[in-house]
Structure 1
Amino acid sequence: MWSFEVCVVVALVSIYLTHWIYKWRNPKCNGILPPGSSGIPLVGETLQLFTPTYSNDVLPFIKKRLQRHGPLFRTNLAGRNIIVSADYEFNRFIFGQEEKLVVRWYLDSLSGLIKHGEQRPDGLTTHKYMKNLVASHFGTDSIRQKLLSQFEDKVLKALHSWSFQDSIELEYASIRVQYQFPSPPLIILWCYQIYAHTEFNTRVLQFIER
């Protein structure tokens, strides 16, 4: 009798798990979902996303799925169903329909930065607000105002140091100045240290001379 009850419980649990896994792999949708997969239950494809890579190219996780499914595919990261789009026209349409046909969700940290969900006095949508925010720091006008003065100071210091030398090799000296002037707002600290290193400049010059 006891073994029969155990068998019934095991059967019910198996049926429940099978149904749950099926629902996980085939989420409900009012329309047609793009191709893709949901990965492992609860975890999704998070582990594949964070696979280490030494390439500066597109993440292998994204590249493989773009080749397999095309520019629009679905996945699951950290237990959340996600649609990934690399289609320019579709992305443009989504941004244009913000707060109209599309309601977007942001991480809490990003929501605080872009003031998502707040009534901004400028009346801008989140997309336009982000665009203006980035342009104010990295736009052409901002870079011109912030970096030209720094570049001018660097050039003046270089000319001043050259004036004390009997002769200089203009090409060599110019390249040294160029590669010793990175833009701190646009690159990370280790890039700054590499570009400022004399040995790196020497290797660049040797490569160019070839």
Structure 2
Amino acid sequence: MNIFIALVLILFPLVTIILKRRKLPPQQRIPPGSLGLPLIGQSLGLLQAMRANTAEKWLEDRVKKYGPISKLSLFGKPTVFVYGQDANKLVFASSNSNTMTNHQTQSVRMILGDRCLLELNGEDHKRVRGALASFLKPESLKMYVGKIEEEVQTHIQMYWQGKQQVTVLPLMKNLTFNIICSLLFGIESRERRNEYVQQFQEMIQGMWSIPVNLPFTRFNRSLKASAKVQKLLKDLLQEKRQELLKGAPSNQDLISCLLSIHGEESQDSVSEDEIIHNVMLIMAAGHDTSSVLITFILRVLANNPTVYEAVLKEQDEIAKSKSSGEHLTWQDLAKMRYTWKVALETLRVYPPIFGGFRKTVKDIEFGGYIIPTGWQIFWVTSMTHADEHIFQEPEKFDPDRFDSQASIPPYCFVPFGAGPRICPGYEFAKIETLVALHHLVTKFKWKLCCPDNFFKRDPMPNPTKGMPVQLTPRTST
């Protein structure tokens, strides 16, 4: 009997291990690579490379070593890095939540909330995306071009006119945040906007960080700021509810629009958490991405006289067609074709969003390998943007490559995502970018104070010293 018990004690653990291993995909079919140290993995290496502006090389070295698909560990989770047109299609074309789901790192999820579009899937994603799109679609945004222009004009009067030197990136962040506050949140008070922006800027600092919630860490500070932002937004929602009860129009701002849908007894309604979490997402995406885009366009124009002259000619023609005090219109924006091509080429070369994540719901076969259930999939925007097999002479800045976007293969140019996952704020970003550029180009000339082309990612691109420029007012248009 003692021998039997001893055999059971010896064999039971072995049988358990064998059964567990049978549930795993064959080891030779898991992508090559290393998961590195527990929790940390390759997170610190990637973050250091991003801040040193060597992240693309860091990933290129992985591709050279392992091929276009490899395993690693990022932000505490086993991850598979995928690269190429087929990889982008895998990420963006899949709307089947039974295979792959929206998924962000634990730090992003804890800071922005689990009911934002980056986390929702299936019918929930479709429902909330539809609610946001009801305000952000072009037909709705046409009415707000003048309001956006007023914010741009006020900003230029306060921070640009009469100045010999300005630092562009922080000013662009100031501008885009004020546009968001006005158009999306309906906040007109400068003091109140300042209260929001202080907490918001602290909140986004830790979105790409190792999720260790210890005092004095960046992640800890971001979590505290996130809680304060959510409290501010809950108070704002209550105010907007009262305004709606008093007869305020539901289309006066995004929050009022979402609250109107929230109040409906229908399958399309959105919860309060969904409103707050997606407002926070829009704050992060709309504030940082547009400000980075405008900043880098100004740097491109300073470094490329031919491109600058073409943009200036286009914008001067539009300015001359307007009478004094007349606002830009939707039709004026449609005439800014070359300016928008410059913006698209800037997005190709300097994409604000470095990459993102998905999560497998079941084993996925891709590229001859198995991506196991529950693993992260990590995709990177700039890898296909700089692929010489997709874009000829990718190191050359050439807006004319966007003469016909139909000539660019699908799922190769993805600064706003693609397919059913394309960013619902695309048109909003386009409008504020074109309106801001119109006034900056027609009113000023500028020269870079730091002519180097260095930038770090933290996680957004940040040029040297925020890109200070010497300003000269234009005397005529």
Instruction: Give TM-score, length-normalised by structure 2.
Output: 0.25
Residue aligning to 1:143: 433
Residue aligning to 2:25: 29
* Offset, 1:29: 2.7
Distance in 2 of aligned mates of 1:35 and 1:135: 36
Alignment of 1:57-206 (within 5 A): 57-99=54-96, 102-107=99-104, 108=109, 109=112, 111-114=114-117, 116-117=120-121, 118-121=124-127, 122=130, 128=419, 131-139=422-430, 143-144=433-434, 146-151=435-440, 155=442, 157=443, 177-179=445-447, 194-197=467-470
Q: Which has the higher contact order (CA 8 A, sep 6+)?
A: 2
Distance in 1 of aligned mates of 2:427 and 2:465: 23
Change (3 A) 1:142 1:131: farther
CA root-mean-square deviation: 4.3
Distance in 1 of aligned mates of 2:437 and 2:80: 42
* Offset, 1:35: 1.2
1:125-176 deviations in Å (ceiling 9; x for gaps):
x96565233413433x5533x225423xx53x55xxxxxxxxxxxxxxxxxx
* Offset, 1:65: 1.2
Structure of larger gyration radius: 1
Larger strand proportion of the pair? 2
* Offset, 1:61: 3.8
1:8-61 deviations in Å (ceiling 9; x for gaps):
xxxx9xx99xx8xxx8xxx93379221111112343233333335664343454
* Offset, 1:84: 0.6
* Offset, 1:192: 8.5
Q: Which amino acid aligns with 1:50?
A: L
Change (3 A) 1:91 1:189: closer
Distance in 2 of aligned mates of 1:61 and 1:110: 30
Which runs of 5 or more structure 2 residues have no equivalent in the other structure? 1-9, 134-416, 449-459, 473-477
Q: Which amino acid aligns with 1:29?
A: P
Distance in 2 of aligned mates of 1:78 and 1:40: 11
Change (3 A) 1:131 1:89: same
What secondary structure, in the 3-state scheme, does the structure 1 residue paired with 2:71 have? Answer: strand
Instruction: Give TM-score, length-normalised by structure 1.
Output: 0.50
Distance in 2 of aligned mates of 1:56 and 1:179: 23
Residue aligning to 2:245: none
Q: Which amino acid aligns with 1:38?
A: L
CA contact (8 A) 1:114 1:130 kept: no
CA contact (8 A) 2:49 2:55 kept: no
Q: Which amino acid aligns with 1:28?
A: L
CA contact (8 A) 1:72 1:87 kept: no
Change (3 A) 1:110 1:33: farther
Change (3 A) 1:178 1:129: farther
Distance in 1 of aligned mates of 2:423 and 2:75: 31
Identity %: 14
What secondary structure, in the 3-state scheme, does the structure 2 residue paired with 1:132 have? Answer: coil
Distance in 2 of aligned mates of 1:100 and 1:53: 31
Change (3 A) 1:150 1:66: same
Distance in 1 of aligned mates of 2:462 and 2:58: 27
Between Structure 1 and Structure 2, how many residues are aligned? 148
Residue aligning to 2:148: none
Residue aligning to 1:5: none
